Amino acid sequence: MSLYVSPDLLAVAERGDVSDAEFVDCVRTSLPYAWEVINEVMTGLHRDGGDFADHEVPPPSDAERGQLLRALASDAIRGGLERHFGAKLAFQNCHRVAAFAFDAVGGEQYQAFVSPRGQLLNQSPELRNC
């Protein structure tokens, strides 16, 4: 299961739309490691005022790796986090997560990060199991 959904939030979802705030809070509490990593890159992006910030530290365990994979593999979760933090997320593997200012999407640095070349250059033998 990707998220722990409280009975109250499930009831809200059954009645209709769930607010981004409610959804993001569910993600934050269900996937604390993923939240920490994404919060770090988003905070770095906004603090430094640039177009790009990234995180390159491998997760400490398979459980944390799984959280990051679940958060970034879900369109709904990724989209909710992007709207909440106000920036685009990009993901190369189990540890390389980046945040880009929305107006930098399509730019040279973004294109390099999401390119096949960027993916291949970010591989190493110790990361093959992620």
Q: Where are the domains of the chain?
A: 32-127
Per-residue pLDDT, 104:
94
Its pTM stands at 0.89
Structure tokens that stand for 57 in this block: 């530290």
How are strands ordered across the β-sheet holding 97-100? 52-55, 97-100, 88-91
pLDDT (tens digit, 9 = 90+) per residue, 76-94?
Answer: 999 999 999 999 999 987 7
Q: Which residues of the chain carry a pLDDT beneath 70?
A: 1, 124-130
Q: Is the backbone of residue 54 left (phi > 0), alpha (psi -120 to 50) or beta?
A: beta
